[in-house]
Amino acid sequence: SAGRRPVVGGLARLGQRLLAYRQGPITPAATAALETDLHRLLREIGRVILQWTLNHLEADDPRQAPAEVGFEHGLYRRRPASPRRGGIATRFGVITLARLRYEPCDAGIGLPCIFPLEQRLGIVAGKATPALAGRVGAWTAQHPQATVQRLLAEEHGVAWSVTTLRHVAAELSAGARVLTHAAQVAALLELLGKAHAGRGP
């Protein structure tokens, strides 16, 4: 299949690189170069596999998907699949993602379109997979924006503007606030339950 060919090609390049290393003089510099090349090749193979997998989660024939869906008290109608502009950043690099679009039936009230596949995958700010967004969240808590941009480029082959980085960080922060509030409510209810069950003042 079309998705298998890039993976096979990547594995062939990987085998050739290993063979070249074994046939040459084994030195610290050669070993460091091998490790760097392996990381790059394996990241590319992972990117191709992830891209193929995510792009085959929805039916090839859009008519097999529901014609209309309900979401947050609104009704949305199916439209053709379209690629996410700029792609989706992952830990393996940027992938293309084509997904079905659903637009609001009542377009006059200003509701945005929804993309059920992106919702199911947990895509953050329309830009990043949850795994990469988790790294971004940890980095933004420890480093300035320029350092986070450099880490994204060096470790994941992702080139983001400061605006994109801020959008992803803001959505992560909003999601964390919801989780924090839910955890606080659960803890309070547990304490109230213990107080109610206990004896004495």
Q: Could you read off the pLDDT tens digit of each residue along the chain, which spans 201 residues?
A: 555 677 788 889 999 999 999 998 999 999 999 999 999 999 999 999 999 999 999 988 888 888 888 888 788 999 888 888 899 999 999 999 999 999 998 866 778 889 999 999 999 999 999 999 999 999 999 999 999 999 999 999 999 999 999 999 999 887 654 445 555 566 656 666 666 576 655
Q: Which residues contact 117 (CB under 8 A, 6 or more apart)?
A: 54, 57, 58, 97, 99, 100
Model-level pTM? 0.76
pLDDT at residue 152, rounded to an integer: 96
Q: Which tokens belong to 94? A: 């940027």
Q: Which tokens belong to 115? A: 């993309």
- DSSP annotation of 98 reads E
Q: How far is CA 10 from CA 23, 48, 52, 87, in A?
A: 20, 9, 14, 21
* Helix 162-197 × helix 130-142 angle, to 10°: 90
pLDDT at residue 200, rounded to an integer: 59
> What is the amino acid identity at position 77?
R
pLDDT at residue 179, rounded to an integer: 45
